[in-house]
Amino acid sequence: MPDRLPASASILIIGGGVHGLSTAWHLGRRGRPSLVLDKQGVAAGASGIACGVIRNNYFQPAMSELMAACVEVWESDPESLHYHGTGYVALGPPAQESDLIEVHERQQRIGYPSELHVGEDAVTQHMHSLYPDWRAPGLTVCLHEHAGGYAFNRESIRGLADKARAAGAEIREGAQVTGFALDGSGAVARVETNQGDIDVDQVVVAVGPWIASIWRMLGLPERIDVLQPDGEVRPDLPMWTYWYLQEGEVAFDPARFTTAAGRSSPVLHIDSDQPLHDDAGRLITAEPWGVYFKPDRRGVQGGAQPLPVGERFDVDPYPTGTVEPGFPDLWSAALSHCLGRFEGARELYRQVRSGGVGAFTVDNFPVFDYMLPNVFVAADSNHGYKMIAVGREIARVLEGEHSSLLHPFRFERFRTGDLHPVSHSPYPWS
């Protein structure tokens, strides 16, 4: 029989993913113990399936500043966090030049190490210097971030859990939150679980793709009006929408996915408007396409465009490993389109435990805010494996400090129109 859950907790954190555990770790470092509940276990959710890409390439100033802080946390303990600081390279067609130029300018201002190449010749020259077999045509902008890279998903989250425990947090797996009892002021007085009730002072909600169910339990609105920066109100929009992230792997020795200098490859993200053919010359798509890939433990892992799946989605059991029939062809062809070493990658494709669903907010950016007087919600809109510093900032806020990094992500922005700028990227992740 597992021990009974404590009858009370000063700070109760729901979710053993990156945000819950980072919050517990940083609270512990401040001398504040917390209780973390996870209905399944550490890394059971999106954090344990994420591709693990850690980058700063965001068009929105607030996202960019927050990511810089996140990279610092990853760099603070690469070993325990299974972090590989190989960097990140984003490449795009002419339509993305202005966005990446702006991102680069901001990175220079905030001291984030990156270099920019504009024009097809300059881009090709830079990529050839990194990879002698580079061969993707038509890319006219390249942002090469020298910080960031990737981490191994489950290992890193378990490492984070170890840090949280060492700092004094208690983590209880198999404990599911089923409801909340409010007091007269609208604050949560008691959290109900499948193993009994817990009296609480503060609650942190960090449940990733399960956010809609907890949101409902807290009595928060499922549809909202959003004031646009031009003054128009878009009424009755769904607070949560689901996208499915398609990811896969090729059984290509990661030790061969290196740069000309013999270093492990940076993460590569390519958006292209060029026709994509397979190795036999058959047309895969004439539409713009986008992919990302990186070395993984036993292969090369990555993904392509996410698929919108609507306003309702059953996240139990958590879905993983589903891709459109055309995904393996497209993704493998894109690898080979970029690097000669990946010719024949389609034969090496395997559908491993990867990919999954994410819950996106109404504007596709995170909500990090108090949603009830003592309930702080970390809903990262599926941007968040890399966002390991959010927990550090939540710990500050719970201690009564202000976080200028989290302030732009307050819920109130939907009412006041203080929204984030939107890039030219066709995907909800830039």
Ligand X SMILES: Cc1cc2nc3c(=O)[nH]c(=O)nc-3n(C[C@H](O)[C@H](O)[C@H](O)COP(=O)(O)OP(=O)(O)OC[C@H]3O[C@@H](n4cnc5c(N)ncnc54)[C@H](O)[C@@H]3O)c2cc1C
Binding site for ligand X (CB under 6 A): 14-20, 37-40, 44-47, 49-53, 176-177, 206-210, 214, 245, 247, 355-358, 378, 380, 382-386
Instruction: Work out how close the CB of 233 gets to ligand X at its nearest, in angstroms, rounded to a whole number.
Output: 28
Q: Between 10 and 364, whose beta carbon lies closer to ligand X?
A: 364
Q: Between 341 and 383, whose beta carbon lies closer to ligand X?
A: 383
- Residue 33 to residues 29, 97, 103, 167: CA-CA distances in angstroms? 9, 47, 38, 8
Q: Between 92 and 208, whose beta carbon lies closer to ligand X?
A: 208
Q: Between 66 and 123, whose beta carbon lies closer to ligand X?
A: 66
Q: Between 179 and 426, whose beta carbon lies closer to ligand X?
A: 179
Q: Classify residue 281 by burial, with Cβ atoms within 10 Å: 0-12, 13-18, 19+.
A: exposed
With both helix axes pointing from N to C terminus, report the angle between 61-76 and 390-398 in degrees, rounded to the nearest 10.
100
With both helix axes pointing from N to C terminus, report the angle between 97-110 and 61-76 in degrees, rounded to the nearest 10.
60
- Residue 236 to residues 41, 227, 359: CA-CA distances in angstroms? 35, 11, 18
Cα distance between residue 428 and residue 430, in whole Å? 6
Coil, strand or helix at 364: coil
Q: Between 42 and 123, whose beta carbon lies closer to ligand X?
A: 42
Instruction: Work out how close the CB of 291 gets to ligand X at its nearest, in angstroms, rounded to a whole number.
Output: 13
Task: Kindly report the backbone phi and psi dihedral angles of residue 209, in degrees, each rounded to the nearest multiple of 5, phi listed first.
Answer: -65, -10
Coil, strand or helix at 19: helix
Residue with tokens 């190449």: 117
Cα distance between residue 38 and residue 55, in whole Å? 27
Instruction: Work out how close the CB of 90 gets to ligand X at its nearest, in angstroms, rounded to a whole number.
Output: 13
Tokens at residue 10, please? Answer: 């000063």
Phi/psi zone of residue 299: left (φ > 0), alpha (ψ -120 to 50 degrees), beta?
beta
Instruction: Work out how close the CB of 151 gets to ligand X at its nearest, in angstroms, rounded to a whole number.
Output: 9
Instruction: Work out how close the CB of 276 gets to ligand X at its nearest, in angstroms, rounded to a whole number.
Output: 22
Instruction: Work out how close the CB of 26 gets to ligand X at its nearest, in angstroms, rounded to a whole number.
Output: 14
Q: Between 70 and 130, whose beta carbon lies closer to ligand X?
A: 70
Task: Kindly report the backbone phi and psi dihedral angles of residue 72, in degrees, each rounded to the nearest multiple of 5, phi listed first.
Answer: -60, -40
Coil, strand or helix at 38: strand
Neighbours of 261 (CB within 10 A): 7
Instruction: Work out how close the CB of 279 gets to ligand X at its nearest, in angstroms, rounded to a whole number.
Output: 26
**Cα–chain-centroid distance for residue 23?**
16
Instruction: Work out how close the CB of 272 gets to ligand X at its nearest, in angstroms, rounded to a whole number.
Output: 20
Instruction: Work out how close the CB of 274 gets to ligand X at its nearest, in angstroms, rounded to a whole number.
Output: 24
Q: Between 17 and 295, whose beta carbon lies closer to ligand X?
A: 17
Q: Between 123 and 334, whose beta carbon lies closer to ligand X?
A: 334
Cα distance between residue 140 and residue 286, in whole Å? 18
